[in-house]
Amino acid sequence: MKHLTIIVPDGQCTLSSVACIVGAYEMFASANEYWKENGKDDLFKIELAGVSAQGQFHNGMLSVNYVSPVSTITKTDLILVPSLVHDFKKASKGNQLLADWVAKQYKNGAEIASMCTGAYMLASAGLLDGKTCSTHWRTANNFRSLFPNVILKEENLITDENGIYTNGGGYSFLNLAIYLVEKYYDRQTAIYCSKIMQVEIDRQSQSAFIIFTGQKLHGDEIVKQAQSYIESNLDEKISVEELSSRLAVGRRNFDRRFVKATGNTPIEYAQRVKIEWAKKAFENTRKTINEVMYEVGYSDLKAFREVFRKITGMSPLEYKNKYNKEAVV
């Protein structure tokens, strides 16, 4: 029998942390149950572990009891790390012992999966350096600033690299759990769990949920001026050459500084700003696709559709029909 350890962080948690712990436990328990119903033994022994006998959540309103000290677990096969508070510097102080234990287990052959902002724990332990990962899109800018050596793919719902799995935010941890059930059990067990828990199987993107705000937590004033110009001139077709000239910066240097500060090229940033505005227009107005397209500086419908789909994973019409009930009526 394999061993599954679900981490119970030492405080510094949210209600989402509890959801991750309970949801993951139930998902793998359901998978074990399905296997027993089909004449097989449990695949995993599931254990909650932390550094104390009880995990406190939401100012003590909730607690998780019967937690095994990680010091007593010398060998495990799979570790699940739930979400943490968004103030990671605070969270890291309370969970350093757990992070060290997770890193040691990974070196000993365990696989590790983080849910939502649980990726912060893995990054702090150096396990994600040079690797791709995902986390909640809302914390992407903060994550990049703290861990520049990690390749963050905020559009990905799940990443899978060298025995480390990460996922996007919110309750998408259930999609990661199903992904892991398929990997460790089999496809049919994953389908069963998806039907029992009523979670869509094979979801791979969180692009449609991202609200783009732009990385502003940097000290490059030239880039901030460029960002402000892009955001204030949505209806223009932005020329990066003209923009860099306006700010008296060479094009190559401007591109380099922009990417370093924001994580996007100037063109990508302009596209994301325009598409974010278009998304809100589709959600809240009865404007046609063409009307919105022109208002964000596009004149070619095919080009607009391609950029919109690249960023959101959906066509403009699909997005409008999904998020604007009045438009469908």
Considering the segment(s) 2-209 as one domain, its CATH architecture is 3-Layer(aba) Sandwich (3.40)
pLDDT greater than 70 at residue 89 = no
Distance CA 328, CA 320 (A): 8
Distance CA 133, CA 212 (A): 18
Q: Which pair of structure tokens corresponds to residue 15? A: 């209600």
Backbone torsion region of residue 126, taken as left when φ is above 0, otherwise alpha when ψ lies between -120 and 50, otherwise beta: left
Specify the 3-state DSSP secondary structure of 74: coil
Residues 6+ apart with CB under 8 A from 66: 48, 53
Q: Which pair of structure tokens corresponds to residue 222? A: 């030239």
268 half-sphere exposure, CB direction, 13 A CA radius? 12
Q: What is the mean pLDDT of residues 174-202?
A: 95
Alpha helices in the chain (DSSP H): 15-37, 88-94, 96-107, 119-124, 140-146, 173-184, 187-197, 221-232, 240-246, 251-262, 266-284, 289-295, 301-312, 316-323, 325-328
At residue 52, the pLDDT reads 67
pLDDT bucket at 217, cuts 50 / 70 / 90 = confident
pLDDT by residue (tens digit) across 113-164? 999 999 999 998 999 999 999 999 888 888 988 898 999 998 899 999 999 9
pLDDT by residue (tens digit) across 8-30? 887 667 788 889 999 999 999 99
Q: Which pair of structure tokens corresponds to residue 183? A: 């990997």
Distance CA 8, CA 18 (A): 9
pLDDT greater than 80 at residue 211 = yes
Considering the segment(s) 221-328 as one domain, its CATH architecture is Orthogonal Bundle (1.10)
Element counts in the chain: helices (H) and strands (E): 15, 11
At residue 233, the pLDDT reads 93
pLDDT greater than 70 at residue 329 = no
pLDDT greater than 80 at residue 327 = no
At residue 68, the pLDDT reads 80
**Residue from 170, 178, 183, 169 nearest 198 by CA:** 178
Specify the 3-state DSSP secondary structure of 293: helix
Q: What is the mean pLDDT of residues 3-9?
A: 93
At residue 170, the pLDDT reads 86
pLDDT by residue (tens digit) across 274-310? 999 999 999 999 999 999 999 999 999 999 999 999 9
Q: What is the mean pLDDT of residues 158-182?
A: 94
Q: What are the C-alpha distances in Å from 286 to residues 143, 147, 305, 309?
A: 36, 42, 18, 20
% of the chain surpassing 90 pLDDT: 67
φ, ψ for residue 77, nearest 5 deg: -100, -35
Residues 6+ apart with CB under 8 A from 283: 320, 323, 324
Supply the pTM of this predicted model. 0.78
Q: What is the mean pLDDT of residues 33-48?
A: 95
pLDDT bucket at 53, cuts 50 / 70 / 90 = low
Output 218 or 119, whichever has higher pLDDT.
Answer: 119
**AA identity, residue 280:** K
Q: Which pair of structure tokens corresponds to residue 247? A: 């700010």
Distance CA 50, CA 7 (A): 6
pLDDT by residue (tens digit) across 257-283? 999 898 899 999 999 999 999 999 999
Q: What is the mean pLDDT of residues 207-211?
A: 82
**Residue from 181, 133, 248, 184 nearest 23 by CA:** 181
Q: Can you give the residue ranges of every domain in the chain?
A: 2-209, 221-328
Mean per-residue pLDDT of the chain: 89
